[in-house]
Amino acid sequence: MTKADLVDKVTALGDLTRRDGEVIVDTLFEAVIGALKGGDKIEIRGFGSFRTRQRNARTGRNPKTGAKVDVPAKRVPFFKPSKELRDSVNPSGATKSKAAAAKKVDPNDIDPHHPPAM
């Protein structure tokens, strides 16, 4: 879904012009961005929460030349979906970890060229 699709959905909900829909969507995005820039956390019940996480400085590597590069510390946006959103996306209720735990590996069926991840 694109921003234009979202504007169309908002416009279709009521007696709104396309311009009104654009203003609503832009206002929502600007509010989220402004709060994250200010270091605030946004929590929308039933949807999820937006916050920033701190990434420490590290030494990276240029993949083309192999040279070491200093990567400075930075804040990055992070979205954590609510339980309701996760359950609506995965209606069976099975999470990846539960599915992995339930899967049994027979030692005789292990491919020596592609061993299972540890």
Residues 79, 49 contacting (CB under 8 angstroms):
yes
Give the list of residues 6+ apart from residue 53 with CB closer than 8 angstroms, or none: 75, 76, 78
At 57-98, the pLDDT tens digits run: 999 999 999 999 999 999 999 999 999 999 999 988 555 555
Q: What pLDDT is attached to residue 60? A: 95
Class of the 44-92 domain?
A: few secondary structures
Q: What pLDDT is attached to residue 91? A: 83
Q: What pLDDT is attached to residue 14? A: 84
Determine the Cα–Cα distance for residues 9 and 116; give it in Å rounded to an integer.
44
Determine the Cα–Cα distance for residues 103 and 94; give it in Å rounded to an integer.
12
Q: What pLDDT is attached to residue 115? A: 58
Q: What pLDDT is attached to residue 21? A: 93
Among 24, 76, 27, 86, residue whose Cα is nearest residue 50 = 76
Q: What pLDDT is attached to residue 92? A: 81
Structure tokens at 10: 């908002």
Cα-based distances in Å from 81 to 30, 56, 99: 20, 24, 20
Query: What are the boundaries of each domain within the chain?
Result: 1-40, 44-92
Residues 71, 59 contacting (CB under 8 angstroms):
yes
The pLDDT-based confidence of 15 (bands split at 50, 70, 90) is: confident
Average per-residue pLDDT in the chain? 86
In this prediction, residues 35-50 reach a mean pLDDT of: 94
